[in-house]
Amino acid sequence: MAEDLRDKLGAQHLPLRDQVLAALRTAIIDGDYLPGERLTEDRLAEDFGVSRNPVREALRVAEAEGFVVILPRRGAVVASPSSGTITDMFAVRGRLETLAARLAAERATAADVASLRALLDQGREATQRHDLARVAELNSTLHLRILQISGNPWLSSIAKSLYLHVQWVFRLGAAERAPHSWAEHIQLVDAIESGDGDRAERAALDHLDAASAAAYENAEGGYGAR
Amino acid sequence: MAEDLRDKLGAQHLPLRDQVLAALRTAIIDGDYLPGERLTEDRLAEDFGVSRNPVREALRVAEAEGFVVILPRRGAVVASPSSGTITDMFAVRGRLETLAARLAAERATAADVASLRALLDQGREATQRHDLARVAELNSTLHLRILQISGNPWLSSIAKSLYLHVQWVFRLGAAERAPHSWAEHIQLVDAIESGDGDRAERAALDHLDAASAAAYENAEGGYGAR
DNA sequence: TCCGGACAAAGTGTATACGAAGAACAATTA
DNA sequence: TAATTGTTCTTCGTATACACTTTGTCCGGA
């Protein structure tokens, strides 16, 4: 898996450290590196087929983003999100994504709405095909698109990071819930299209409440505290 | 999280990259490095008396935190917060700090309230002495303490970062406004002590609105867009 | 058997050097 | 004047070296 990954990485012209960071993030989110697992620089360098320097730089950023914890003179370990942080993450998301929905409703152009509708269509289709992986992917894309439409870079980057973490903790459960949540998505996009900020905010909150409830149900089974 | 581990292990050793990062942050916030200024690795390495490696790692984190912008193959420049981002920052702060105030009101112990009151007293005293620098410092301490009392690490770290950026942009103006805002602080702490989440949230919002208005007034004179 | 310390191994932290490639700017040429 | 070519600066990645910490192991003594 290291070689083909490396080939793909090398094809692009992004700095290696960014590619390593992206690969590291997805590896952690996908559970390839489990919480508590030790990440030595040499090992990562070998896994990704690069030298230690890009790995180190990626690790520092991953630490700032909360995916790993770096212990001085000991090295990096994959962070262990405890179930307590679930409540915290959803509390913050509740504030930020409702704001994003409101701003999106106020600022969305016709083209923006069209792109959201296109995602909804694709999602409906994937749901009918029972392609859960694709549904989950479209789910993410939709949320990130709304953040982007909000036009607030701070909001966007912070919420995106939070969103990634939620995906990380509830990777499995999220995919299963995705079909149910699709109806909520339609409500949300309708509200954004209407331009009614209050309505959009309410729709986002409803969606988050449902997601939060589902997350809690699923938390029992997943790799929780530790 | 894993701070307990952290404290025990290599507590006494601060890696150079962390020292460089801290120095870089304060240098930027204090205006020693001005927005748009180019930061070559060699120069920073020389300024801080270290090799390029710690500098590079610090720069990546500073980029993630939004203090510098890194252009591929061109290097780092100090970020240039435009007046548009002022609105954005306050919009996000409005959501997060009100949440922090609510949570603080719900969770604050008697000792927490006492520490806030102590800060208020010191602030009143410093105001009477016209010690603006001290007032600004206490201002920050108070806000960060409230975040800490909220008990939500995500909220705390995100809002803290935002707070630093606001300080950066309105470094000068903030100090002058501080005496006026102190009355609002008293309202806020009163609300937190009462345990009334709604009231605390309202107080926080009032305070932010006033701060936002002051920031805009001051934005004309500062180093603004670009 | 159990304890304690010497010792080695592993891994990070830091510094340095080198080559490749990109970007900016100046110089040269048509 | 305009386009092209070179030069220079700097980043990007690699490689290497070494000090220092942490950790685990092993061995001798009680």
Token output for B142:
């108070």
Q: Tell me which residue of B39, B104, B102 sits closest to B76, measured CA to CA.
A: B39
What range defines the domain where residue B56 resides?
3-78
Report phi then psi at A144, rounded to 5. -65, -35
CATH of the domain at A172: 1.20.120.530
Give the pLDDT of residue A219. 60
CA of A69 to C1' of D28 (A): 40
pLDDT by 10-residue block (mean), chain A, 226 residues: 32 78 94 94 95 96 96 93 83 97 97 97 90 85 96 94 87 63 92 97 95 75 41
Strand D within 7 Å of which CB atoms in B 41-80? 41-42, 56, 70, 72-76
Burial class, A226, CB count within 10 angstroms (exposed 0-12 / middle 13-18 / buried 19+): exposed
Please judge whether A65 and B64 are an interchain contact, meaning their C-beta atoms are less than 8 angstroms apart.
yes
Among B63, B78, B93, give the residue marking a domain's end: B78
Strand C nucleotides within 7 Å of a protein CB = 10-16, 21-24
Predicted structure pTM score? 0.86
Question: Could you read off the pLDDT of B43-100 as tens digits, one per residue?
Answer: 999 999 999 999 999 999 999 999 999 999 999 999 988 777 888 999 999 999 999 9
Give the pLDDT of residue A212. 86
Residue type, A36: G
Strand D nucleotides within 7 Å of a protein CB = 9-16, 20-23
Which residue of chain A comes nearest to B6, CA vs CA? A71
Q: Is the pLDDT of residue B7 over 80?
A: no
Give the pLDDT of residue B2. 36
Give the pLDDT of residue B170. 75
Residues B185, B108 within the same domain:
yes
Residues B88, B163 within the same domain:
yes
Give the pLDDT of residue A178. 64
* B8 Cβ within 7 A of any nucleic strand D atom: no
Q: Please report whether residue B25 resides in a domain.
A: yes
Question: Could you read off the pLDDT of B166-216 as tens digits, one per residue?
Answer: 888 876 555 566 667 788 999 999 999 999 999 999 999 999 998 888 877
CA of B18 to C1' of C11 (A): 19
Give the pLDDT of residue B179. 67
CATH of the domain at A13: 1.10.10.10
Is the CB of residue B68 less than 8 Å from the CB of residue B62?
yes
End-to-end Cα spacing for chain B: 40
Contacts of B64 in chain A (CB under 8 A): 61, 64-65
- Contacts across the A-B interface (CB distance below 8 Å): 97
Among A49, A78, A107, give the residue marking a domain's end: A78
Give the pLDDT of residue B213. 85
C-alpha angle A153/A155/A160, rounded to 5°? 95
Return d(Cα B91, Cα A98) in angstroms, integer.
12
Return d(Cα A21, Cα B197) in angstroms, integer.
40
Q: Please report whether residue A31 resides in a domain.
A: yes
C-alpha dihedral sign at A157, A162, A166, A169: positive
Residues B89, B47 within the same domain:
no
Tell me the helix, strand and coil percentages in chain A, rounded to 5: 75, 5, 20
Residues A8, A46 within the same domain:
yes
- For residue B75, the surrounding DSSP H or E stretch is strand B75-78
DSSP A24-77: HHHHHHTTSS-TT-EE-HHHHHHHHTS-HHHHHHHHHHHHHTTSEEEETTTEEE
Is the CB of residue A26 less than 8 Å from the CB of residue A47?
no
Q: Please report whether residue B224 resides in a domain.
A: no
Give the pLDDT of residue B133. 80
Please judge whether A71 and B1 are an interchain contact, meaning their C-beta atoms are less than 8 angstroms apart.
no
Residues A60, A155 within the same domain:
no
Residues B102, B203 within the same domain:
yes
Q: Does B15 touch chain A (CB under 8 A)?
A: yes
Nucleotide nearest to A53 (CA to C1'): D13
- Other beta carbons within 10 Å of A222: 16
Q: Please report whether residue B94 resides in a domain.
A: yes
Work out how many domains chain A is built from and give that number.
Answer: 2
Token output for B56:
């590079």
CA of B37 to C1' of C24 (A): 16
Which residue of chain B comes nearest to A54, CA vs CA? B57
Give the pLDDT of residue B11. 47
Give the 3-state secondary structure of residue B70. strand
Residues B151, B91 within the same domain:
yes
* B54 Cβ within 7 A of any nucleic strand C atom: yes
End-to-end Cα spacing for chain A: 29
Which conformational region is residue A39 in: left (phi greater than 0), alpha (psi within -120 to 50 degrees), or beta?
A: beta
Strand D within 7 Å of which CB atoms in B 73-112? 73-76
Give the pLDDT of residue B175. 57
Token output for B26:
């304060």
- Closest partner residue to B57 (CB to CB) among A15, A60, A153 is A60
